[in-house]
Chains A and B, each alone.
Chain A
Amino acid sequence: AQSVTQLGSHVSVSEGALVLLRCNYSSSVPPYLFWYVQYPNQGLQLLLKYTSAATLVKGINGFEAEFKKSETSFHLTKPSAHMSDAAEYFCAGSNAGGTSYGKLTFGQGTILTVHP
């Protein structure tokens, strides 16, 4: 069974600092992995996804994530935080096979605060 764990429910950084949001997964089969961003009172927006084509995945708004099978991790990074990055971020995964038909398992979310 798939599970996704986000380490840290709140992360605070200064504007211009590195953003690192952690995500670990457990899966018995190769997973598809995703990062989503949610601004207040809005739906979730896809930032990037890993589907086994490349281990370093670039997404929108300058974010990227690296799939590390040996560490079962898919951490999200951005070199320089901007005030507009303040939001809640969700890591999610689905199994490539089986009958789940794309049903995602979500982490608990990480709220990113950016200080001036």
Chain B
Amino acid sequence: DGGITQSPKYLFRKEGQNVTLSCEQNLNHDAMYWYRQDPGQGLRLIYYSQIVNDFQKGDIAEGYSVSREKKESFPLTVTSAQKNPTAFYLCASTPGAAYGYTFGSGTRLTVV
């Protein structure tokens, strides 16, 4: 079955560490997105990519980085510059405007 796989489901980060969240899709979608979700704050866009080897900053890109070397993969790195990384992270993809997004099941990141 086609879908989006996010891993790991739970991730713990020590202060000063970089961590990478994985997002893989086998839907052949061109566009992929990363959102951060905090209680009561809805979904906030971190980065998005509409095509391989190209990506754009979203509303809260500071302290995050991404790459899009393959159509299927859009990993998100949470760097040590992100001072408050504890949140639920969602990856999504879409083939175009009329279809909406398909979401992954999310990664919960906690700073320890």
Contacts and interface: CB of A to CB of B under 8 A. Distances in A.
A67 interface: no
Nearest to B35: A106
Given A9-B40, A90-B43, A103-B31, A41 B100 contact: no
B5 to A, nearest CB: 11
Contacts of B42: 90, 106-109
Given A36-B100, A102-B98, 16 more contacts: A34-B100, A36-B103, A41-B106, A44-B90, A49-B100, A96-B97, A100-B97, A101-B30, A101-B97, A102-B95, A102-B97, A102-B99, A103-B31, A103-B33, A109-B42, A109-B43
Interface string A7-44: 00100000000000000000000001010100001111
A104 B93 CA distance: 11
B108 interface: yes
Contacts of A51: 98
B31 A42 contact: no
Interface string A81-116: 000000000101011100011111011110000000
A6 to B, nearest CB: 9
Given A41-B106, A101-B50, A94 B97 contact: yes
Interface in B92-112: 92, 94-106, 108
Most A CB within 10 A of own CB, among B30, B41, B101, B102: B101
What range describes how many residues of A lie at the interface?
A: 20 to 34
A42 B43 CA distance: 13
A44 B97 contact: no
A45 interface: yes
A29 to B, nearest CB: 10
